[in-house]
Structure 1
Amino acid sequence: MKLVIYSLIFLGLGMSFSGCKKAKEEEIPFIKIYDDQDGNKHFHPLSISPSASNDGYIVMSAYDSWRIHLMKVDNTGEFVWNYELPANYVNAVPNLITSNGENYLVCMDAVGLFTYVLKIDENNHSTTEVATFTDVLYPTYVYNSGQYIYLQNYNRLSMQTGLHKLTADLSTITQSADLDIFTDVEDRIVEHITFSGKRMPFFVSSTPEQNYIVMNGFYNYSFSLVFLDQNLNFAGVYNGAGFNGGLAAISPSGGNQFSLARFSYDNLYYNAQASLTPTTVDITESISAQGQSELDAQKPVLIKDISINSVAYKAFLSSTRSNQLLLSIYDKSSGTLAGKKYLGKNIPITACDFLQTENGELNILVQAKIMGSFDRIAIMKLSKEQMEAIPK
């Protein structure tokens, strides 16, 4: 902690970091915490993605409510540059998109509430405006399926959730669908985008067969898991329990198999191999799942595909009620728990995003709370050897 405090006090010119080596086997080898010269800022990390130049990573965060911050680090986590977007660009959706070798972000106009698409310019440490969609209000998620790019939003005028198919350069909408919510959820949207209330687990993905779009969002008086076909026609739904229950995260595996986490009020449940029917009309509470009482249902859950020693796994990353992280590894073919690892101990941390590197390491983007009040961007790293030690 002294090293962290030292960097907070003395390394305030631009961004700085501190590294804490972990001696115990159950701890991660290091955590790098990045500080800003303005100690009063509060950061909410959103996404980490490989840089377009393939020499590091781009980290996107929100700060001071809905403002947008970009940072580049090299492959070892060393700070390279940072950029605070102009104040008219707000509410970055919580994931970066890579298309045609370029990184993009989707955000919103602070006054008009409409959507911008920005390309990240690594050479000039800035962004370039690619598109403006004046009819797409309150963007909430963006996803690249490998074939198409999909943009999700909330339309406050029609009280609908929208899904829009974009061209590869994200400049043009080619197809759209609207789903009726039948009630005004703007207050919930505002709480979500300003970090003043519950963050909703908006999500868009596609099945490996590319036959269904899988979308988590507001629909039919609830927060629901909706399936659409490739023409964006409604196919089926698992309705949430109003706004207090639904899917917290989902990762399609193929053959109507899904790894998922669902929430019900303050409780989280996992199922690493759930069988779902995309054309059904059902409720999320009917999906069998195992309770995870130690986990904090108010914080993000992340599910991604990883590989350890050429074996495919589903990695679940979540935050515990005691402000640690829990990384749970499930065998992709059987859905059985292969191993788990607790991360963090001395500093309260929250899971935000993660990715596996080409050499088998795991980079974990977290929010670290320093001295009980400073919300900072941090990156934790698990080595290839530590990853190999998790499956038993």
Structure 2
Amino acid sequence: MNQFVSVFDNNQFNAGFNPIDMVQTDDGSYIVLAEEKVTDTTEIPNIYLLKADKYGNFVKELEIGDSLINPVGHLTVVENKLYFFCMVSVVKANGKDARLASFDSNLDGFKTTNLNGITYPAAASYAGNQFVLLSYNIDDKLSVISTISAAGAVTKSKGYTVGEGDDSEEPILNHFLRTDKIFPFDVGLVAGGVYYFNGFYNYTFSLVFTNISDDEPMGIVAGYNDKGGFSAITPLSASKYAAARFNFGNNYLLPNTTITATSNATSTDANFKGYSLPELIPDTKVKILRATAKEKNILIYGADTQTRQIGLYFYNEADGTFMSSRYLGFSNPYQIGCMIATEDGGLAVCGTTYLAGRFPRICIFKLSKEEVASNVK
């Protein structure tokens, strides 16, 4: 089937689901990594895994329980195993400790590996045959960037101050406790062996570049305390990026912007002005996907709209020109979780919908290759 819309109901009246990431397996099936919140127990999310077949039909689910919490994408496939990061429940001993979790495409063989003192994982990616992890050290008040093997060995690690005093760590801990703003933490590798993380540095939510060696960052694009910064960042080359930023509730899309890793700037500088979209909800979650359609390299932005739909915005990667937009969702409210390009040249968007306006459930929109191409001008 080239296209479908699936909503996955659940018999737990008091449970809600928020997808983090999704991958497509070799047989065309979809595996979703999600948070599960059970409202009468804790607001800190447990881990939930869902498998659907290539037609969007439910196959299997796996609920990890309350011993592990806070699943962190990306969900990554390495040698037929799937990996993601999480942490031990705060109600257990050593509740802040991070774990690398793995399982197979049938949701079997789930296990975790201790990461030798790394705590509070916030974001992860996979580059250069290793994981790159952003975490938070609560004792020393550091944003920590690390490289980690699939076996769980920490090969490099470096911490950078978030600032002294309780005020510096309050928004970070509230993020993990889910009691206030959820921040768009991110981490990765760009050309030339330069790493970056989108997180807190020196009291401010900032984009920080580092070689994971020197005591000081190579360069910084500072936001404004916890009220402004980048909401998404995708490297296109050594200095070109597709990005989005937030600033006191306003949202700006930057499909073709230059960021120099070795200089300092602020996210409100003129060259980061971007396109303002008032139709988006304040400080919306933004996802960016690089894809190909009609023999063109394109960028697809996904975000949440004021009408409670998922907005998709198509840009030409070469020059950042806008192509078209389309909207997913009907009847019930919808929120974006993640997007992937599918093996048949289409697009799959995973999100949350609210059945009867109140029960958060996982949904998948599958767009055909032809539907994606119709948005490319």
1:120-149 per-residue CA deviation (whole Å, 9 max, x = no partner) reads 1344635112x2024111111111014431
Match of residue 40 from structure 2: none
1:351-391 per-residue CA deviation (whole Å, 9 max, x = no partner) reads 11010112111110010011111000110111111111112
Counterpart contact for 1:340–1:391, Cα < 8 Å: no
Q: Does 1:182 align with 2:163?
A: yes
1:288-332 per-residue CA deviation (whole Å, 9 max, x = no partner) reads 212111112333100120110221011111111221111111111
Structure 2 counterpart of 1:213, one-letter code: Y
**Paired-residue identity, %:** 26
Counterpart among 76, 81, 86 of residue 102 in structure 1: 81
Counterpart among 184, 188, 192 of residue 201 in structure 1: 184
Match of residue 18 from structure 2: 44
Match of residue 298 from structure 2: 313
Structure 1 counterpart of 2:175, one-letter code: H
2:56 match: secondary structure: coil
Structure 2 counterpart of 1:263, one-letter code: F
Question: 5 Å matches for 1:12-31?
Answer: 30-31=4-5
Q: RMSD in angstroms over aligned alpha carbons?
A: 1.8
Match of residue 242 from structure 1: 225
Aligned residues: 361
CA pair 335-55 structure 1, distance change in 2 beyond 3 A: closer
Structure 1 gap ranges (5+)? 1-27
Structure 2 counterpart of 1:356, one-letter code: A
Q: CA deviation at 1:31?
A: 2.0
CA pair 132-262 structure 1, distance change in 2 beyond 3 A: same
Distance 2:79 2:210 in 1: 26
Distance 2:263 2:71 in 1: 33
Question: 5 Å matches for 1:147-296?
Answer: 147-167=129-149, 169-183=150-164, 184=166, 185-207=168-190, 209-229=191-211, 231=213, 234-286=217-269, 287-296=272-281
Q: Does 1:386 align with 2:371?
A: yes
Distance 2:196 2:300 in 1: 19
Distance 1:344 1:73 in 2: 20
Counterpart contact for 2:245–2:253, Cα < 8 Å: yes
TM-score (normalised: structure 1): 0.88
Distance 1:336 1:353 in 2: 23
Distance 1:293 1:170 in 2: 45
CA pair 125-100 structure 1, distance change in 2 beyond 3 A: closer
TM-score (normalised: structure 2): 0.91
CA pair 59-124 structure 1, distance change in 2 beyond 3 A: closer
Match of residue 62 from structure 1: 35
Q: CA deviation at 1:94?
A: 3.3
Distance 1:194 1:306 in 2: 34
Distance 2:303 2:369 in 1: 20
Distance 1:170 1:329 in 2: 38
Question: 5 Å matches for 1:58-97?
Answer: 58-64=31-37, 65=43, 66-97=45-76
Structure 2 counterpart of 1:270, one-letter code: L
Distance 1:124 1:42 in 2: 20
Distance 1:339 1:362 in 2: 15
Distance 1:96 1:246 in 2: 24
1:49-92 per-residue CA deviation (whole Å, 9 max, x = no partner) reads 123x5441210111113111001111111111101003111111
Distance 2:104 2:169 in 1: 33
Structure 1 counterpart of 2:115, one-letter code: F
Distance 1:370 1:345 in 2: 11
